[in-house]
Every structure is written in C-alpha cells, then in structure tokens.
Structure 1
Amino acid sequence: MPQKVRIALDAMGGDIGASVVIPGAAISLSRHPDTEFLLFGDRAVIDVHLAKHPAMKAASRVIHTNVAVSMNDKPSQALRRGRKTSSMWLAIDAVKKGEADVAVSAGNTGALMAMARFCLRMLPGIDSPAIAGVWPTVRSDSVVLDLGATIGADAEHLTALAVMGSAMARVLFDLERPTVGLLNIGVEEVKGGEQIRKAAEMLRAMDLPNLDFIGFVEGDGIGKGAADVIVTEGFSGNIALKTAEGTARQISEYLRSAMARSWRSRIGYLFARQAFKSLRDKMDPGKSNGGVLLGLNGIVVKSHGGTDADGFAYAVDVGYEMVRYDLLTKINQMLNRDGSALVTAPAAQEAVS
C-alpha cells in the first residue's frame, strides 16, 4: 500500500476558517482516502466541526493554537506576531520538519508567502516565488503563473517561471514536453518590453528537453488554451485571474436572468438544463481553486479566502496531487539539468495582499 499523503491545514485561515476548512477537507478525503491531516487552530472550534465528519476526525490530528493571521495583516506584521505560534506558521513549519508533505491555507496571501519563504527558503537558482494555478480553457486546462506572488520580473525570473510551470504541467497533465508561452501584448517578436523579449530569446536558446517554448501568447490565448503553460509576472497575472473570474460570474448572472425572463425561456431551460449545468460547472472559479507556491523548498497551496467547502476541497486535491506525483523532485530535476542557463533574479517587490 502506498504511503499516505500528509496534509497540514491552516484551520483558522480564510474568511470563515474551520467551518469551510473541515468540511472541504472531508470532501477531499472522500476522493483520496490515502490522506492524513494535521489541523492547526483552536481545538474547541475544530472539534465542533470534526464531530460532523467522522471519517475526517479519524484521519486527523489536531494541534491547538489560538493565534490566527488576520486577512488584513501586512506580511511584516504577520511574521512578527504569528511566527512560531499562528496556525498558518505551524502548518508551514510541519512541512519543513517533515511532519507533513504539503501545507494548505486559505489565509492572507502576502502573509502566507512571507512565512513560507522565511520558513522553507527558496530552491537554488530561484530568487522570487510564484503562485501557479490551473486555468480551464476551451481546449483543456493550462497552468498559469505568476498569479500574484511577485510584482515585476526580469528575463531570468520569467525563464525560471517557465521551467517551474513546465514541471507542474508535467505532473498535472502527464505531458513529457508541455508547450510554454509568454503572455504579451502581441505574438510578434518585436512586441512587448525588453525583459519579456529577452526571456523569449533565452528560452529559444536553451532549447530545454522538457519544455516546448512556442513564443508569445496574447490575453485571449489563455482561454483558448494556446499553451499548456502561460508565463507572466504577478501584477498582470493577478489582474488576468480576477478579470476571468469576474467575467465567469457575469455570464452566469446573464444566463440566470435570461432563463427567468419568460415562460418560454423557462420551458427551454427545462430541456437544456443539463447543458447549462455543464456550462456552470466549467465556469465555476471554485473548481480551479488552489494556487501552488512555486520556488519554495517545500509544497504550499493557497486557497481563495472566500471559497466554500467545495472550493476548498479542490485546493486540498491540488496539494494531494502535487505530493503524490512528486512535483518538487521534477522541479529540482529540471533546475539541476537546466540550471546553468538560469541566473538568480534580483529581488522584486512582493505582493502584500
């Protein structure tokens, strides 16, 4: 029997904490019974929710702390106040100590990034972290990064993102040589700023064995599935993510309003409701929840703070898959093989939200 995947959960993280974290983890456990959980947070609160999920309770160990990182805390505040005592820090530290294989939190993004970087340190050759997420497209799913961890990127950092994103795509999509594109304002080689054009030149020259660089991809190419991996810096990546999520909700509202407009539309909905359900499922941002913090010497997954239990379950699923299919080993293999072409990027301004 394969070894169980040990997942550390920040049970106090997110907008409402354990009332989403526990039932969400229980849903994931039903899909992956070879999982064990370490739950960090207020024992009295956690036990109330565990009592409603016997299988989850049997697969969990609770480590008590009443210190939680606020969603409004700045990263520096979180490090000062919550280092070594908060539920977020303890979940990350469990990965460092080898007590857990992955940490999952729906808490403050900037605080999570700062704590993870401080506790786990960066991989050799990687100076700045990235948030990588799975993006549904009309073709299949794509990995998109950075979704908001680091603001600004030079050519070396963009190249490192391409290598790490390719490793994640190999894990998730079982691809030997994922296609990789750089997000740009046009596909022509003369388009874009100096750093993105330099990154393209570097990737072409490197000709990596586990990465098929296809050039530049425009914004509409993300949804079209133009590449298995789309690389950008955190500012534009986060804007793209929030815009896509808002557009999905907007279209859902349009459809709901149109279906209720007349008795004919209601009858039409009855005949087409399965098709509409499939469309809703495809457009549901919760089903793409769970961003992997890449570049760290350990696996940490960030869930949306305002997600529901179903959405949090998907974030836990992502953590499970990253461990079960050995993401860190694949990233290290690619960095070690191709690391001679990677230059550690200068420090960039990190996100604080």
Structure 2
Amino acid sequence: MDGRILVTGAAGFIGFHLCRRLLADGWIVQGADNLNDYYDPSLKRDRLAQLEGHPAFQFQLLDMADRAGVAGLFAGPHFDAVIHLAAQAGVRHSLEAPHSYVDSNIVGFVNVLEGCRAQQVEHLLFASSSSVYGANSALPYSVHDPVDHPVSLYAASKRAGELMAHSYAHLFSLPCTGLRFFTVYGPWGRPDMAYFSFTRKILAGEPIPVFNHGQMQRDFTYIDDIIEGVVRLIPHTPQSQTPWSEKDPASSSAPFRLYNIGNHTPVPLIDFIEALEKLLERKAQIEWLPMQAGDVSATYADVSDLQKAIGFAPDTTLHDGLGPFLSWYRQYYG
C-alpha cells in the first residue's frame, strides 16, 4: 500500500494495533485521538509513543465532537480510506455518563461522516459493537437478524451510528462498512475490560466481581484477529446490491455492509477465569453478583458473511491469546 489513511481513536487499544499494522503495510497513517480520561491516559500516551517514531505516522490531538476541528482535519490531504474507531466505550459507564456517549458516538460520528462526504473518501470503515444485538436471544448473532432492542445507551449509540452511516451511503454514495467487534482482548488492552481487571485483582489477591452468578458467555476475540479482519476489508469496498431485500437487515441498495468480527466460539466466564488462574498460577477469589443492568448473558458471532467476503475468520484460542496478554501485562506493570 502507498495511500493515506485516517485512523480515529489511534491511541486506543484497537486503534494502536491497527496503526502499527498499517504502517508495517506501507500506509501513510494520520492518527487522531482526544486522549480522554475514561481510563488511564498514560496508557494511551505509551501506546502513541510506540508509533510516533515512524516517519509515516502523523498525530493530531482532536476530539471528534469538535466540528470545526474535524472539518479542519478533512480540509488537509485526501484520505484514501478512513477507519473510525474513536468512541466512548463501556456498557456500564453509559448508565453513569450518558451525555458523553451522545457527544462522542453520535455527534462525533456525524462530524466524521460529514468530513468523508466533503472529501469524497473512497471507503469509510467504522467500529460498531456486538452490543447492538441487545435483547436478541437467537444465537449465534447474525448481521441478518434485526437489532431493534438495545439494552444499554452504549448499544443504542452504536446502532444509531450504523443507521447514520447507512443514510450517508444512500444519500451521498459514501461506501461504508460497519464492524461489529466481539469482546476484544490482548496486549495493550483496555483496563476497564473484565479480562484486564480480573488479571490485576487476581495478582493483587483481591476478589473479582462475577455478574449473573457466573452464568455468562463471551465470544473473546484476540486483537490480531480483529486487525486482520479490518485490514482485509479496507480494499473490499461495498457496492450497491441489486436486487436487495428490505426484510434482510444486512441487505441494502446503498454501498453499505455490516460484518461481525468475532471468534465464533462463546466461552463460559467460569472457563475463562480458570484459564487465567492456570496461566497466572493463582487462585481467584470470586464475589458472585446478580446480572447488572445493560449486560447480556451471552455473545456469539456468526462470521459466515465475513468469511465469504474476505476468506478469513478469527480463530485464535483463548489460551493462545491470553499468554501474550499476560506477558505484556507483567512487563508493562512490573
């Protein structure tokens, strides 16, 4: 590759790994991030420090909700593709700070959509979430299933993003690809995620909170698999479908597609904790708690559309993924 690409949320967990891969592939990468304090900003700065020595990497401190700032970013050199990862994350936090989700995930995304429209960007890829499946009970989750019952504001904001992107694809022929990520984990991960906090608490001898009395399953997806899926989708620009079915949520007359990127292997939370205990050689102290508002009991990705489109599906086992994470954790935190 020799093009220019914009990655928003470049100092985030997925954004950092994606920028590193794109640079290795030969892209000129423009990163943007607001380095907010939702979790420790020093971790975000340390991720950035791994990128900033590369001659093809440029970074701008920018909040996507800043309309003038985002317009100025898109007034610069043309981007061959945009990967929008900047967002306010966290299901539980959305119960406490709802306005930050509207500012980042809706207002910020509209600003990015407007920038892409103004620049006539060839392909916009954006992060959605498995959370959009909400109260759906049918497993595995499929992009062909309706997602009309979100159970958290976070999920609603990510679904709103999908709908806004579709409208721009329809109105302005802006090719858009939505990426529904499933429980991403790995080195340089997010401290607010369960696998990260469980590791810290087990090593510190503190009890770990386990909700729904352990009756939870998650489709844990290793970061390298997420990145591989995203990178392969960049040149896979969506086209209008003819004919299309209004009864199929994954079908559209606009250049718009949705893909699940998950390991398509739901793991019981208890099995996950046991895997951590074995690798850490420590026993967890468990605090059993009821289901928390906004949570779902299971996630499970149907990735058949992804595999058909790009010939790839995540397959890193939990054991193979947790090992590199724990090695990084011990090195980073001493």
Same topology, TM > 0.5: no
Please identify which structure carries the higher helix content: 1
Structure with bigger gyration radius: 1
